[in-house]
Structure 1
Amino acid sequence: MSDFIYQPPQDDLVILHEDHELVFIDKPAGLLSVPGRGAHLADCLLARVQAVFPEALLVHRLDMDTSGVIVFARSPMAQRHLGLQFEKRQTRKQYVARVWGQVAEPSGRVDLPLTVDWPNRPRQMVCHDTGRPAQTDWAVLRHEEHGSRLRLSPVTGRSHQLRVHMLAMGHPILGDPFYATAEAAAFPRLMLHARELRLRHPDGGRGLTVSAPVPF
């Protein structure tokens, strides 16, 4: 990754849902959620959203290489409300991934603790000694030419969790620049998309589900 050049897509902002407290965006793959270090990494989804909604506040992130649903708060109250929901695992996130190889079982759970791989940051790794608990539920949607299409439902929200858990299963996500190798890496993007986010609206607590179509 030393030769990485940040060239984020210049697509128009795709607003999935907006109201007085929340705005949901369909983030494109290749765009940072928040600015990185240095002026060359300043372009990010947060900046683009704040250009339209100046009051928008960060609630959570998606990896640069991941596309799909992400929510921003439009008031400090909404930010606190949503932050607690994510912290207490009261939100429900559903992803779609294309992975390498034919996954034999119809569904299952990966329960492997994760920690940062310090010499190779930002890579993460499984570590039973110092890792933080991490669980991912998965189900096969269908088998395809290059592998399998899965529905992934993270129980926890660790960094790179889905990517490392799929690697640990022996089925890395196609196009993953960190964890896939050889043929599995030879795809134009990371084949991971946040398809659906379910939460409670900060104004009244009603359930709200927002989804984004899978682009692959």
Structure 2
Amino acid sequence: MSEIEKPYVIGIAGSSGSGKTFFLKSFLDHFSSNEITLISQDDYYIPANTKTKEENRLYNFDLPTAINRANFYDHIKDLFEGRTVFQKEYTFNNPLLANNILEIKPAPILVVEGLFIFHYEEINELLDYRIFLDADESIALERRLKRDLIERGYDHDDVMYKWINHVVPSYNEYLLPYKASCDLVIQNNVDDPMIIQQFTNDIAANLRNRIV
């Protein structure tokens, strides 16, 4: 890709527990690393360990101000200009995990994902195609509990506190209002990988003509 050639930009956002991680993996697997690249809002969290222990317990990750918005946008623009981006991977406040340095290379297809990508006006206006993943609240909560308790080792009471006071209000204010304006809405209430696989198959097939 030449430095002046704008990538085709796909924005992917979803409620917590909507299956966004599996969707992204399935979608990216359709392409080589030279064809597609991913930049994730999650890697631009302002580090929770900069807060005191008391603040950190109730630190709200689900606010637009929890993200280094300017850096996130600047790196997207760098990719537009054909420049490789280096960003420290966020480990969700797990001190046992070392931070990897992500090397994000420009490619003809750029996937931008994160909770606030539609809410951030300067990022939303860069998107060519918007995908919204959603799930019923009871199903999303069950998936969130499984992830946070097992994979991230969080305390059950903390997970429930954040779900009620942070996650759901943030979804309702900063993501749900954009659902109707997205190009594709996927209601993912069934844990059937073939359903997601079919969606990604169809999207990838439609994109093939853009990179040949």
Query: Could you state the TM-score of these two structures normalised by the residue count of structure 1?
Result: 0.26
> Larger relative CO (CA 8 A, sep 6+): 1 or 2?
2
Q: Comparing both structures, which one devotes a greater share of its residues to strand? A: 1
TM-score norm. by structure 2 comes to: 0.27
Task: Decide which structure has greater helix share.
Answer: 2
